[in-house]
Amino acid sequence: MAVAADLTHRLRQGAEYTLIPLGALVVSAALFSVFLLGLGKSPQQFFELMWRGGFGTAFSWQNTLQRAAPLVLTALCVAIPARIGLVIIGGEGALVLGGFAAAAIAIPMIGPVAAGSLPVALMLGVMALAAALAGALWIGFAGWLRHARGVNETISSLLLTYIAIAILYFFVEGALRDPGSLNKPSTPPIGAGAMLQPIPGTDIHWGLAAGALLAVLLHLLMTRTTFGFAMRVTGGNPRAARAQGLPVGGLLVAATMIAGASAGLAGFFEVAAVHGNANASLVAGYGFTGILVSFLARHNPIAILPVAILFGGIAAAGGLIQRRMGLPDATVLLLQGVIFVVLLASETLYGRIAWLQPKRSGAP
């Protein structure tokens, strides 16, 4: 009896976390349709194109998943610190610096790898480590500033982003510039043979798999380990956590380092699987879109996956919508904005819809 009650409790709670966001999506679509009608465009055509461009065919799925891949990793950079009560918005900087570190550490290895005297896998491994470490130190620094100096981590992580971009430009346009990159300063390319190959049978790079794996691992870390429990307690009430003897400072720095490493890895995949070198193209805004994704996923690592795919799909369909409907690119941004606002507004519904509330049976 208790087991069955527990199951319905879980199901209803699960339903709440699924139905409310889905309802919010429907409401956003309705609001956006009104906007389209105001412009004299057909909402039906819009959503058909959205489906076709984002999810309708095998090609659109690849398109969607490729665009989602970096978002998963940068969203994790927001979600993990959020569990401990920190609002980190500097994932862009960690991504840029991670990508730069990966490209920079590869420079002395490019020759040996091309000559066959050094295995490609070793170089890629070192690059990934360097990227994760650079990101971890960068965002970890914001966490440390918060703990040791009381600096607001939201502001410091944002400002650190601009410093990271400046560091990238400084080296890419100076000491580490490939002399062959005349009009677009870049680091030397790691070489086509050394690039990370896509997942077999697709065009999708391994960043998506890495993001999914990391999301699951971090979810387990947060929900199934004492470390995760300590982080959640700290997020709930830092003073109580400290009173319980939890190492709050260490936890803060650890959470931000995990976050930074995740965004740094996104930078590694951009360099190793997409660009082949580091240059200004790394600064593409993935870190900032990741903030949106994490908030919409309510900072739940598992929920980040579908939300990132939704955003990937919207971005993938954006081009088709521009081309077929003659709408400007900003249309898609507007849709994203409407979804964001409606989803945030729907937060107030949690716990207020009686039908979704489990009956508190078995209470003494």
List contacts with another protein (CB under 8 A).
52-53, 59-60, 62-63, 66-67, 169, 173, 179-180, 182-185, 203, 205, 270, 274-276, 279-281, 284-286, 315-316, 319-320, 322-323, 328-329
Rg over alpha carbons for the chain, rounded to the nearest Å, is: 22
Smallest distance from another protein to CB 211, Å: 14
Smallest distance from another protein to CB 56, Å: 10
Residue 185 or 358: which CB sits closer to another protein?
185
Residue 35 or 169: which CB sits closer to another protein?
169
Name the one residue in this structure whose structure tokens are 């862009």.
92
Smallest distance from another protein to CB 290, Å: 14
Smallest distance from another protein to CB 186, Å: 9
Residue 264 or 276: which CB sits closer to another protein?
276
Residue 192 or 354: which CB sits closer to another protein?
192
**Which residues make beta-bridge pairs with 186?**
279
Name the 3-class secondary structure at 225.
Answer: coil
**CA 162 – CA 347 distance, rounded (Å):** 32
Smallest distance from another protein to CB 170, Å: 10
Phi, psi of 279 (to 5 degrees): -155, -170
Smallest distance from another protein to CB 60, Å: 8
Phi, psi of 186 (to 5 degrees): -145, 165
**CA 125 – CA 107 distance, rounded (Å):** 14
**CA 102 – CA 99 distance, rounded (Å):** 5
CA distances from 89 to 158, 188, 204, 297 (A): 6, 30, 27, 15
Residue 157 or 289: which CB sits closer to another protein?
289
Positive or negative, the CA dihedral 210, 215, 218, 224 is: negative
Residue 6 or 329: which CB sits closer to another protein?
329
Which residues, in sequence order, are CB contacts of 112 under 8 Å at separation 6+?
118
**Which residues make beta-bridge pairs with 279?**
186
Smallest distance from another protein to CB 267, Å: 12
Q: Is 189 left (phi over 0), alpha (psi -120 to 50) or beta?
A: beta
Asked if 276 and 154 count as a contact pair (C-beta separation under 8 A), the reply is no
Asked if 269 and 196 count as a contact pair (C-beta separation under 8 A), the reply is yes
Name the one residue in this structure whose structure tokens are 């077929």.
324
Smallest distance from another protein to CB 113, Å: 17
Residue 66 or 256: which CB sits closer to another protein?
66
Residue 16 or 92: which CB sits closer to another protein?
92
Residue 113 or 315: which CB sits closer to another protein?
315
Smallest distance from another protein to CB 279, Å: 7
**CA 54 – CA 335 distance, rounded (Å):** 14
**CA 123 – CA 110 distance, rounded (Å):** 8
